[in-house]
Amino acid sequence: MMPGAAGWYQDPNAPTFERWWDGRQWTKQARLRSDQSPRPASTVPSSDISDGPKEGQASVSRGSAGEECKDLSPLGEAERLGAELRRLRAEIVEVSDLVLLQEVGLYRYSHPLDNAVAYEAALEKLQAEIATLVKGGGAISCAKKWAVNGSEVDGGKLMRDLAKLMLRAYNTEADSVIRTLRPYSLAAAETRLEKLRGSIAKLGANMQLAITDEYHMLRLRELRLTSDFLAKSAEEKEREREERARLREEAAAQRELEAERARLEKERQQYETALNALTMRGDSAGIASTAEKLAEIQSALQGVVEREANVRAGYVYVISNVGSFGDGVVKIGMTRRVDPTERVRELGDASVPFRFDVHAIVFSHDAVALETALHREFADRRINLVNLHREYFRVSATEVKTAMQRLHGHLLTFVEAVEALEWHQSQNARAMGASTGAEP
């Protein structure tokens, strides 16, 4: 290159940079040199530039050696700035991805599984797959070419906008389904999402717009995962409720046993005092009668003590409620109450429209085993197959009687046809009201 010819030359004021010489003067265009070795002096234009930079040129201090060394390190600064630029670009990509997901209706709302420890990892993995598919363009399909007013560029933009709009509608509905999902309503929720997908495919048929199978299956998996968690949560709450009821029943039984023992102890002391007095008077007839009564009290007291010690002892009851559950439905349960009918009265509280009727109440030293055996006997007739604490069976009273005779042996009484007084009175009142046209 001839001296003075236009080209890139070492900047005389910053040796690590090159500046463009247009053949007559230095321009504002400068760039970092690819190497740090200075060019031969012969390549520098012959124009005198020692008078300082012309207008618009960068000024570089040429003071002390330390200052010159500092000014001659733009490469290190460039590397630092380059690294900072790469970091900022990485953050921009992350923000752009978030904006992209929000554009199609994927928001980070409070998910039902956010605090579910057992489902946390599965949810995180699933949401990552959903986000990846959206960012990769695999969530919704559309026509590859589309023209608007003869322009494929405008057509492509319209297609992308419509695809985002359709995907946004689908995701908004999917999120709504998940947020409002209730235990054991999965089938209805899946149908709702399937219908939405079908509507989108129908509306976008001309442009071949449709939610992809892969993306739809991911959202269905999220729906099923949430439903499974909600169902298990409902079961857990029901178990806790049943356990609280059992503890209340045990506490009530314990209080009754303690009260009964205190009552019997008091009677025993009274009869012992009376027996001592009769013995001192020599009343043989009174002594015999009092001693007999004292023996009965001692026996009853011993029974209460044994029942307190034996947590398996209690009463097995068979009850029904025709007005509430219809014919052929019985409840088979057990209680450790001193008065088992108290437990039956509690079951017939305001939660059911009619009181329960008693078919049988049987005392057993192992009431737990007897109850379990009866439940096993009619396991295929259970009404609630999910919550086994709901002890209702679709079985006739006669069948229960036969089973109890075989399993318990000494069955004294069993009422097959219960009175159901309130139910029949209500039916009669209703029939009379209908015949007279008056309110029953």
**Contact at 8 Å (CB) between 256 and 339?**
yes
Per-residue model confidence as pLDDT tens digits over 151-177: 888 888 888 888 888 888 888 888 888
Residue 410 vs residue 115, higher pLDDT: 410
The pLDDT score that the predictor gives to residue 121 is 76
The pLDDT score that the predictor gives to residue 436 is 62
Residue 118 has pLDDT above 80, yes or no: no
Per-residue model confidence as pLDDT tens digits over 187-229: 888 999 999 899 988 988 888 889 999 999 998 988 888 888 8
The mean pLDDT value for 415-427 works out to 88
**Matching residue, tokens 């690294």:** 83
* Three-class SS state of 317: strand
Confidence of residue 52 (pLDDT cuts 50, 70, 90): very low
The pLDDT score that the predictor gives to residue 24 is 83
The pLDDT score that the predictor gives to residue 27 is 82
**Contact at 8 Å (CB) between 75 and 32?**
yes
Per-residue model confidence as pLDDT tens digits over 301-358: 888 777 766 667 888 999 999 999 999 999 999 888 888 888 898 888 878 899 999 9
The pLDDT score that the predictor gives to residue 37 is 44
Pair of tokens at residue 229: 């968690």
Helix (H) or strand (E) holding 12: none
**Contact at 8 Å (CB) between 398 and 409?**
no
Per-residue model confidence as pLDDT tens digits over 355-400: 999 999 988 888 888 999 999 999 999 999 877 778 999 999 999 9
The pLDDT score that the predictor gives to residue 316 is 92
* Three-class SS state of 314: strand
The pLDDT score that the predictor gives to residue 333 is 92
* Beta pairing, strands 314-320 & 329-335: antiparallel
209-218, 247-256, 273-282, range with the lowest pLDDT: 247-256
The pLDDT score that the predictor gives to residue 112 is 54
Phi, psi for 98 (deg, rounded to 5): -65, -45
The mean pLDDT value for 264-286 works out to 84
Percentage of residues in the chain with pLDDT exceeding 90? Answer: 14
Alpha helices in 282-317 (DSSP H): 284-309
**Would you say the pTM of this structure is higher than 0.75?**
no
The pLDDT score that the predictor gives to residue 76 is 63
Residue 111 vs residue 330, higher pLDDT: 330
The pLDDT score that the predictor gives to residue 74 is 54
Residue 147 has pLDDT above 70, yes or no: yes
Residue 232 has pLDDT above 80, yes or no: no
